[in-house]
């Protein structure tokens, strides 16, 4: 498989949200490409308006890869913070913030003329085992807060294919310390390792 230049792909189509950094998006897409050698679904927890989702679909389409792609979001904005999320730098993150509706997400795909992923609407802690495919080859988690990341990891941990990779946004973001706390706790328990790239955690065994 000849790799796709993620940076060129991003330059070609642009970014539809200021919540996504181009250099970090390229890391997500590069890790996704590596995962295509393994069997299993692609899942994204926390899709907002769909920037990363659009690029995941573009990568899958480029390689003619028909594997299942599932996205999960409350489509109701941010939930309340837990104590693990408190930071003097995170005052801009408030309950109900960063709201994008399911309709807006679907419209982004229609505008881009891309096939929709499987969309699951709901808070992560209300999802069941049946909502998540198995096996999973690649997971991108962008839940911002401790409970959201913890719930996401709990939902996928028994479904990860051998060699699966998880990428977590905001791991090194001081304004959202809960993400790192959830990741570190889970990795200590599960035996996974973490590599930090920009603010992302790349989790692997």
Q: Label residue 91 by pLDDT band (50, 70, 90).
A: confident
pLDDT of residue 40 exceeding 80, the answer is yes
Q: Which residues contact 8 (CB under 8 A, 6 or more apart)?
A: none
Distance, CA of 145 to CA of 152 (rounded, Å): 11
Q: Label residue 2 by pLDDT band (50, 70, 90).
A: confident
What is the separation of C-alpha 45 from the centre of its chain, rounded to a whole number of angstroms?
Answer: 5
Q: Domain 6-204: give its CATH code.
A: 3.40.50.150
Find out whether 161 and 40 touch, Cβ atoms under 8 Å.
Answer: yes
Residue 1 confidence (pLDDT): 67
Find out whether 98 and 92 touch, Cβ atoms under 8 Å.
Answer: no
For the question of whether the overall pTM of this predicted structure is more than 0.75, the answer is yes
Exposed, middle or buried, 191 (CB in 10 Å: 0-12/13-18/19+)? exposed
Distance, CA of 64 to CA of 163 (rounded, Å): 22
pLDDT of residue 97 exceeding 90, the answer is no
Q: Which residues contact 117 (CB under 8 A, 6 or more apart)?
A: 44, 53, 56, 57, 69, 70, 71
């Amino acid at each position: 498989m000849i790799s796709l230049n993620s940076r060129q792909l991003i330059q070609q189509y642009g970014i539809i949200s200021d919540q996504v950094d181009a250099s970090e998006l390229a890391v997500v897409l590069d890790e996704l490409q590596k995962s295509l050698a393994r069997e299993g679904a692609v899942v994204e927890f926390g899709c907002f308006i769909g920037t990363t989702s659009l690029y995941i679909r573009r990568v899958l389409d480029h390689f003619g890869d028909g594997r299942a792609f599932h996205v999960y979001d409350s489509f109701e904005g941010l939930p309340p913070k837990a104590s693990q999320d408190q930071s003097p730098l995170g005052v801009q993150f408030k309950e109900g913030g960063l709201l994008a509706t399911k309709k807006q997400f679907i419209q982004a795909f229609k505008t881009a003329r891309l096939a929709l992923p499987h969309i699951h609407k709901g808070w992560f802690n209300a999802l069941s085992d049946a909502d998540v495919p198995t096996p999973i080859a690649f997971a991108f988690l962008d839940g911002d807060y401790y409970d959201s990341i913890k719930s996401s990891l709990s939902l996928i941990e028994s479904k990860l294919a051998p060699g699966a990779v998880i990428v977590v946004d905001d791991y090194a973001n001081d304004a959202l310390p809960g993400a790192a706390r959830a990741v570190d706790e889970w990795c200590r328990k599960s035996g996974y390792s973490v590599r930090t790239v920009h603010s992302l955690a790349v989790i692997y065994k």
